[in-house]
Structure 1
């Protein structure tokens, strides 16, 4: 029992330390749209990033074509194809684009995936009402890092 409690205490300390390293959406430092510093201090997982690209809050292929994900249907044509993304943009630029593309590309339709304030007409899901209380980002800081890690695998 004592070992179980000690293990739980160590896990709680590690979780707190990891959370302390995460940069909050309102504290992200953009330089010409790029974000040089990891949002979490933890390397992104390209496999997890691939999952985010095609499911859930990321759903990047709804707007972008990605040849490496050609086994998935319904790739969009609104955004540029992401093949060769790692050759066109640096890791810092990709982190900035995924976090808040509107800083680098004024007027873009791409959502700001790591933003929590400054929205216009934000809604509460499909209720037609404004949300109450704080707004969560579409992706967590680690999910942003995972997507960036996956995008860094997309070379010509």
Structure 2
């Protein structure tokens, strides 16, 4: 009888051990992401720096485009980051991604993407979101690109 109880106890222990291993492996594969912004979910942050001249070009281009367009009129920016995607030829395509609050709709933040081409292109909304979700975001250190963009736009509006 003791041998039978020991056998059952051993089986329960082994079963519990394997179940706990399986559950711990499964829990490591799940990522819970709480998104305050579309930029966070699919982008990866790397330490490879984008040249400052490129970042400044993108900020200037974005601010010029925002100052020219009539609607929507940006009044604030957040989550502005510089990054890049790779072209089919593995060349870097630099992009400035972020969100802005429009004067016409002060409750919803809109996505934007400014892309460095032979000049630049700017996209708003879902097109911007799709482009930015593919981008690899570069670290800009302690520089807040949202503030830089807002200040540059304020100068252009004067």
Q: TM-score, normalised by structure 1?
A: 0.28
Answer with 1 or 2: which has the greater Rg: 2
Q: Larger % of strand: which?
A: 2
By relative contact order (CA 8 Å, sep 6+), the higher-ranking structure is: 1
Q: TM-score, normalised by structure 2?
A: 0.28
